[in-house]
Each structure stands twice: as structure tokens, then as C-alpha cells.
Amino acid sequence: MTLWIIFAVMTAAAMLAVLWPLGRRAASGSGGNDVLVYQDQLEEIGRDRNAGLIGQAEAEAARVEVSRRLLAAADAQENAGGTQRDTAQSLQQRRLVAILGLIAVLILPLGLYLALGSPDIPGQPAFTRTTAPQNGQSIEALVSQVEAHLAKSPDDGAGWEVIAPVYSRLGRFDDAAAAWRKSIAINGENAARDAGLGEALVAAANGVVTDDAKQSFTKAVANDPKDPKARYFLGLADEQDGNREAAAARWRAMLQDAPPDAPWIGFVKAALGRVTGEPVTQVGPSDSDVAAANNISDEQRNTMIRSMVARLSDRLHANSDDVDGWLRLVRAYVVLGDRDKAKGAADDARRALSSKPDDIKRIDDLARGLGLEG
């Protein structure tokens, strides 16, 4: 509102600078002074004649000339009076127009803004207005609005960064990964964006830390060696690769660096206990830890992961020619602690890929690395 007042004052100043000359009174003529001079000259001619300084003929000639000039000056004064009356009337009209113009310039825009605008609401960026909930709309409807905005403005880096974690919460992990890639391409890399991309890739791969995800987490740690999300998932990658000691070392380092109130401490302690067998003060994440980790409970998380693993298993048994998918399935069962299912998945993969010895070798190498042989 203050800005509008400043604009109004500036507009009034500009209008005054333009209209002020219109209100100035025109200079009056000098006809009145001439009449007085000629009257004095007539009286002086009379005094000179009486004193005998000039003759009768000279006096009459002078009177005639001065009288002629006096009449001319009187006529000029009368005409000037009419002109001055006209000028005064015109001046009043110009002043009235100037005043009305100033009032219109000051009040009309302000009145329109008060009638049509919202002066009490603070300004917001376009993307914030687009994403603001309206009339109790569902999250899906709001996401659709944001998607429409991004379709028109694909270079809106802030928009992609906001929508990416929303996609993850909705289970749209492929879309989340694509959004993070867009954000990185526009805004540049940093630890949060790289870690967000890696987390979306892990979720899309049913909890398996793929090579692409590991690359993203490595970039995140390079930008911020203390980034907890990237450090945790790199430890998980070590665990899935069968290198439990490396995983334990990463997670111990995280706990040593952790602030006392870090919400992920319980979660990392549980992971450390899983790979080392060491007792931990908290066997799983607390409610606040879980709320900080995508706002779902531990039971919900396990249910979701098992559901994704089951879908991966169904897909592989329907289309068994995907060696990378089999590798992810074996790792996922190990992460879930279902070693028997992991061995069964390895056996199923060997049968499905019996005509591809190189792929079978990859399965055997993974099984040995995870301790599934024998």
C-alpha cells in the first residue's frame, strides 16, 4: 500500500509541473498609466499658456495632439479591461480543469485498485500463487495445476524443485527423478538436489541403490560431506553390494557427526545394528524420525517396500529377460532380511537366463558377494 501512495505523490508532482504554467495570470497592460500621463500633460500646457511661456496657437496645437493621444490611451485601456476580464475567466477555467485532472489522476486509479485488487494481501511470486491451495482442492488437483504451469514455463527451476518431492510422496518416483533432473539442469547441482535425485532413483528401483543413484549420492557428498541422506544411502549401497564393514563404517561416522537432536539417529542406529548385529538403544526409528523420513511409519514403509518388491518379482517372472531386474530383486530380498527368498530369486534368475552365460555369471557373483552360496 505504501508503494501506491508513493506512486500517487510522484504522479501529482508531475501533473503540477505540467499544469502550473496554465494557472499563471497574464501580465496586465500599461494603458492606465498612459492616460494619467496625458492628463498631466494637458494640465501642464494650461499652466504654460497662463504663464505666457507659449503662445495661443502653440498651446492649441499641443492640446489637440495630447488630447488625441489621451483618447487613444483611453480606448486602449477600455479594450484592455475587456481582455483582462476574458483572461480572468479563462484563467479560472484552466485552474478548474487542472484541479479536476489532479483529482482524477490521484483518486481514479486508487479507487479501481481498492475495488478490484487486494491491497491487504502481500505480494506473491507467480509459482506460489499457482501452488497455493484453493477451496479445499485435493493434492492431485494442485499438482495438476503446477504441471500445467510448468508445461507453459519449463524453465521455472523453482517449480521443478518444489514438485519433485511431492511426486515422491505420491509414489510417482519416475516423475520425481525427472523433476529433480530438470531442477539440476536449470538451477545447477548441490547436495540437496543430487541427494533428492538419488533417493527418487532408489525408490523407483524398489529400494535398490542403482549405479545412477550411487553416482548422485557421490556428487551430493562431494558438495557437502556431511549430507545425511547421501551418506546413509551410500552405506546402504555398500550393504547391498555385500560390503557390510564399509556400510557400518559410514553409518558409525554419521552417528559421530550427528547433532544430538538429529531426527535420523534412530534410523541409522537400526541400520547399523542390522549389518553388525550390535545392540542399539533404539531398534527402529521413532515416530518423529519416521515423520521426518517422508512422513510414513516404519510399518507403512516396510509394507510399501515389500509391495514394490512383490511387483518387481511379478514383472520379472512375466518378462524374465531382465538381468538388472533380477539383480535388484536379489538385493532387495537381502535388505528385507529374506535370505531364503533372495536365494530363490537367484535360482529363478539362473533358470530364466540359462541361455545367457554372462548374465548368469553376474547373478553368481552377486550371490557370492551377499553370502547366499551354500
Q: Is the pLDDT of residue 162 over 80?
A: yes
- Secondary element (H or E) of residue 300: helix 298-318
Q: Say what the pTM is.
A: 0.44
> Is 234 exposed, middle or buried (CB count within 10 Å of its CB: 0-12, 13-18, 19+)?
buried
Position 21 scores a pLDDT of: 60
> Is 158 exposed, middle or buried (CB count within 10 Å of its CB: 0-12, 13-18, 19+)?
middle
pLDDT, average across residues 127-154: 70
291 alpha carbon, distance to own chain's centre: 27
Q: Is the pLDDT of residue 66 over 70?
A: no
Residue 317 or residue 13, greater confidence: 317
Position 111 scores a pLDDT of: 62
Task: Categorize the per-residue pLDDT at 306 as very low, low, confident or very high, splitting at 50, 70 and 90.
Answer: confident
43-75 b/e (C-beta count within 10 Å ≥ 16 → b): eebeeebeeeeeeeeebeebbeebeebbeebbe
Position 304 scores a pLDDT of: 66
Position 104 scores a pLDDT of: 62
Q: Is the pLDDT of residue 129 over 50?
A: no
Highest mean pLDDT among 69-73, 116-120, 155-159, 327-331: 155-159
How high is the mean pLDDT of the chain?
74
Position 175 scores a pLDDT of: 92
Phi, psi (deg, nearest 5) at residue 373:
-80, 150
Task: Categorize the per-residue pLDDT at 35 as very low, low, confident or very high, splitting at 50, 70 and 90.
Answer: low
Task: Categorize the per-residue pLDDT at 229 as very low, low, confident or very high, splitting at 50, 70 and 90.
Answer: very high
Position 250 scores a pLDDT of: 92
Q: Please check whether residue 319 is in contact with residue 349, taking contact to mean a CB–CB distance below 8 angstroms.
A: no
The domains of the chain are located at 2-116, 133-266, 300-369
pLDDT, average across residues 251-264: 84
What kind of architecture, by CATH, is found in domain 133-266?
Answer: Alpha Horseshoe (1.25)
Phi, psi (deg, nearest 5) at residue 225:
-60, -15
Task: Categorize the per-residue pLDDT at 179 as very low, low, confident or very high, splitting at 50, 70 and 90.
Answer: very high
pLDDT, average across residues 208-222: 93
Position 13 scores a pLDDT of: 67
Largest CA distance in the chain: 159
Task: Categorize the per-residue pLDDT at 364 as very low, low, confident or very high, splitting at 50, 70 and 90.
Answer: confident
Position 293 scores a pLDDT of: 46
For the stretch 325-359, pLDDT in tens is: 888 888 888 877 788 888 888 888 888 888 888 88
